[in-house]
Amino acid sequence: MAVAVYSHPSCALHDAGPGHPESPDRLRAVLAALAELPAAELITAAPADPDVILTVHTPAHLQALTEAHVAGGGQLDPDTVMNAHSWDAMLGALGAVLAAVERSHSGVRHAFAAVRPPGHHASADRAMGFCLVNNAVIAARRFQSLGRRRVLIVDWDVHHGNGTQALVEPDAEVRFVSLHQSPWWPFTGAASERGVGNIFNVPRPPGLEPEQYVQDLWLAIELATRDWMPDAIIVSAGFDGMAGDPLGGFTLEPKHYRILTERLRERLPGTPILGTLEGGYVPRRLAEGTAAFVLALA
């Protein structure tokens, strides 16, 4: 069965400026690669209503984003920028994420949201780390509203998903597993951070053998799902953990993401998996990692 890949044209118009690593070329490379895969069905989603942001974020945060949009863009933090198209890109990305949720919920169908800007650093009231709103947690809340109460979020971006953790750590029905480089920006994600017993952080140094990263993340997933069966799985699918990425020091290759995805499917058969694009800053390599992930979902 083909994997539904949702995106929106506006996602390629968000631009943080010359030289910024989170560039439109990332998404263009991903969509070009997936268009060549018979296993992928590319679908244009309708933009989301801005009110969906309030299922996760504060009114003050939505107001700040609205004001930046009305002003034609602006600098939200040292790394995070909105241009004249960023508002539409954000809503297009959320529309793709929510369409992927609906597709996954409707049956045992895996789906992928090929979107930008990414989301896992955005907290309830703050945009940061290239992220405006938290796509993964908004997806989790939509799954819960549809009756899929127990949600597993697996974040294998090389940077810790600090926003995701902060948003879900009081909720025992969401479990968050994160493999990330440490010490590294944003300097969060210690193994001792456990939330209400639902946080499983796997901080690791750069330069290890790739099989070590795979094994350590998998052990954490096994621990998180021991005697606990999720109703849905969300993968914060960052591919900046691949060897050669300028913003990380991990050594993973596309085949390792395929292995992890296949293991998820085998361990939790019948549980829908939704991927949402996070980091990865060499467009060609990002496209290779994403293609491996989508092929494994199929």
- Type and span of the H or E element at 212: helix 210-224
- pLDDT (0 to 100) of residue 107: 78
- pLDDT (0 to 100) of residue 108: 63
Tell which residue, 118, 221, 136, 229, has the closest CA to residue 179.
Answer: 221
Cβ–Cβ under 8 Å, residues 113 and 97:
yes
Alpha carbons 218 and 196: distance in angstroms, whole number: 21
The pLDDT tens digits for 44-83 are 999 999 999 999 999 999 999 999 999 999 999 999 999 9
Domain parsing of the chain, residue ranges = 3-297
- Type and span of the H or E element at 41: strand 40-44
Task: Output the tens digit of pLDDT for each of the chain's 298 residues.
Answer: 799 999 999 999 999 999 999 999 999 999 999 999 999 999 999 999 999 999 999 999 999 999 999 999 999 999 999 999 999 999 999 999 999 999 999 876 899 999 999 999 999 999 999 999 999 999 999 999 999 999 999 999 999 999 999 999 999 999 999 999 999 999 999 999 999 999 999 999 999 999 999 999 999 999 999 999 999 999 999 999 999 999 999 999 999 999 999 999 999 999 999 999 999 999 999 999 999 999 999 9
Residue 62 tokens, joined: 């939505």
Residue 121 tokens, joined: 């650093």
What are the residues facing 44 on neighbouring strands?
Answer: 7
User: What pTM value is reported for the model?
Assistant: 0.98
Residue 275 tokens, joined: 């991927």
- pLDDT (0 to 100) of residue 254: 98
Q: Are strands 151-155 and 174-181 parallel, antiparallel or unpaired?
A: parallel
The pLDDT tens digits for 231-251 are 999 999 999 999 999 999 999
Cβ–Cβ under 8 Å, residues 12 and 28:
yes
- pLDDT (0 to 100) of residue 1: 77
The pLDDT tens digits for 208-226 are 999 999 999 999 999 999 9
Looking at the domain that runs over 3-297, which CATH code has it been given?
Answer: 3.40.800.20
| Residue 215 CB contacts under 8 Å (≥ 6 apart), including other chains | none
Distances in whole angstroms, Cα of residue 230 to Cα of each of 165, 179, 221: 17, 19, 11
Q: Which strands sit side by side in the sheet containing 151-155, from one edge to the other?
A: 40-44, 3-7, 111-113, 273-277, 232-237, 151-155, 174-181, 199-204
Cβ–Cβ under 8 Å, residues 119 and 136:
yes
- pLDDT (0 to 100) of residue 109: 85
Residue 197 tokens, joined: 């017993």
| Residue 139 CB contacts under 8 Å (≥ 6 apart), including other chains | 97, 98, 100, 101, 113, 234, 274, 276
* Residues that are catalytic: 121
Q: What is the CA radius of gyration of the chain?
A: 17
Alpha carbons 136 and 161: distance in angstroms, whole number: 10
Alpha carbons 275 and 25: distance in angstroms, whole number: 20
Q: Are strands 40-44 and 74-77 parallel, antiparallel or unpaired?
A: unpaired
